[in-house]
Amino acid sequence: MGISITLFDNMVRTDQRPARQNETLFDYLTASGRRPAACIRELLEVWFRRFSELAKQDLRNRFRSSINAQHLGAVFELYLHELLCSTGFTVRVHPDLLGDRKTRLDFLVLKGSQPCFYLEATLAGPSRDKVAENARIDQVYKTLNHMQSPNFFLAIRLRGAPATAPSGKRLSRELEQWLSGLDPDELEHRLTSQGIGSLPSFLWSHDGWDLHFIPIPKPAAVRGSPGVRPIGVTMPEMQRICHPSIRKAVAAKATKYGGLDLPFVVSVNVIDIFMQNTDILRYQARNELRGAWFGPTGPQNKGMSAALIAVGLDPWTIGNRTPIMIHHPWATHPFPPDQWPLPQWIPDLHEGSIVERPGKSVAEVLSLPNSWPPPDAL
């Protein structure tokens, strides 16, 4: 009998710190000794034990990747598999399709022994240029978190993004010099009596990127203590949220497998820095899907039946981000709404409107507590 593989290594975990600025998602989750992380690991291992044995090793490799997108893609597949099983379906992972195809669909979904639909998972995220910008920003944060700031945390207001790599070392030197001339007791009094707007700020710019640093006095007990990272909070400039990546992700999958004999659902996890307002992103997803499903010559990508849209789904949010099924109005094989218990948006072509059909929450389907993950303290 072979040894059962697991997502996480068996180890003693005592680390109670928050995630570092540029720490990968898997690295933090696997190292943290906090109770929420432990609960997440336990849940994901339960789900992983129910996953197909033939596909476990591939999923595990991607789950443990140092590339966040690879990790999130594996988390999403594991989540969808569990979601489908919890709604009463049977799932075949990477089913054989008719014809000589080298590509593999993610799931064939059955009710009992009756095939119902195919499901493919994908991510919609920032462009390569945006990923490169974020990498340049993360490198600066990494440098700043090693600077000497014995008396202050730093709140940062951001505007724009760097077109070229900034010098984190030069910024650190200039910040250290500025902070050394500030009195933490005086600023603590001003913060308490007048608010954060009364504190001084330090402006630093580089190639289209503006950073306003605000010094937040550390509590007296930790002033001068080593290992306390300076960056406290970052506040990005609010931007209009736009996700053409949703349309691109859906269009790439819609025709990938040719003509299928069952309804075909593409499930998209929208990942980006601005993912807090799930309602806005869902409505933007619907607008992007219109572009994927209706082109200059009329309805298109009709081999796709529906899109299952999740927003900002990761191990920490799986209990409070309920995905929505958005139906293709002109699908060759329409998805039967009565087969799906979660919320749906169903087009009414006669009325020219969308019917929002309520459904169960994902926490209810997955039998998760309302507060997920459980807090640190019992």
Question: In this predicted model, which residue has the larger pLDDT, 243 or 244?
Answer: 244
Contact 283, 243 (CB under 8 A): no
Secondary structure tally for the chain: helices H, strands E: 10, 14
Is residue 181 domain-shared with residue 247, that is, in the same domain? no
CA pseudo-torsion sign 168, 170, 175, 180: positive
Based on the domain organization, do 356 and 256 belong to the same domain? yes
Name which of 17-21, 180-184, 318-322, 355-359 the model is least confident about: 17-21
Least confident of 50-54, 217-221, 222-226: 222-226
State yes or no: pLDDT of 163 exceeds 70: yes
Q: Which two structure tokens, joined as six digits, stand for 152?
A: 């202050």
Question: Are 221 and 358 part of one and the same domain?
Answer: no
Rounded distance between C-alpha atoms, residue 145 and residue 152, angstroms: 12
Query: DSSP letter string over 188-216?
Result: HHHHHHH-GGGS--EEEEETTEEEEEEEE
> From the centroid of its chain, how far is CA 13?
25
Give percent of the chain with pLDDT exceeding 70: 85
CA distance 290 to 343: 19
Is the pLDDT at 242 greater than 50? The verdict is no
75 and 65 Cβ atoms separated by less than 8 Å: no
Question: Which of 178, 207, 235 corresponds to the end of one domain?
Answer: 235
State the pLDDT confidence band at 73, using cuts at 50, 70 and 90. very high
Q: Is residue 370 part of a domain?
A: no
| Position with higher pLDDT, 143 vs 122 | 122
Indicate if 139 and 226 belong to the same structural domain. yes
Of 187, 203, 235, the residue at which a domain comes to its end is: 235
Specify whether 139 is located in the same domain as 57: no
From the list 121, 122, 119, the residue with the least C-alpha distance to 264 is 119
CB neighbourhood size of 371 (10 A): 11
Q: What is the pTM of this model?
A: 0.73
Contact by Cβ (8 Å): 92, 84: no
Nearest Cα to Cα of residue 206 among 147, 164, 144? 164
Residue 124 vs residue 364, higher pLDDT: 364
The token duo for 180 is 């050394």
**Distance (Å, whole) CA 356 – CA 326:** 9
Least confident of 43-47, 133-137, 350-354, 360-364: 133-137
Domain match, 226 and 260 both: no
For strands 324-327 and 344-348, give the pairing: parallel
Residue 8 lies in a domain: no
Same domain, 85 and 170: no
Identify the band that residue 345 occupies on the pLDDT scale cut at 50, 70 and 90: very high
Does residue 11 form part of some domain?
no
| Residue 249 amino acid letter | A
pLDDT tens digit sequence for 263-300: 999 999 988 644 445 555 665 666 677 778 888 888 89
The confidence score (pLDDT) of residue 114 equals 95
pLDDT at 1 over 70: no
Whether 206 is covered by a domain: the verdict is yes
Q: Are residues 114 and 181 in the same domain?
A: no
Give residue-wise pLDDT tens across range 137-154.
777 777 777 788 888 888
Residue range(s) defining the domain that contains residue 136: 129-235
How many structural domains does the chain have?
A: 2
> Helical H runs in 87-167?
128-144
121 with 251, same domain: the answer is yes
377 domain residue, yes or no: no
Confidence bin at 241 (pLDDT 50/70/90): very low
- Calculate the CA dihedral of residues 7, 10, 11, 15 and round it to 10 degrees: 30
Which has the closest alpha carbon to 310: 299, 300, 320, 298? 320
Residue 128 has pLDDT above 70, yes or no: no
Please give the pLDDT value at position 235.
47
Strand-pair partners of 16: none
| 161 and 143 co-located in one domain | yes
| More reliable by pLDDT, 99 or 92 | 92
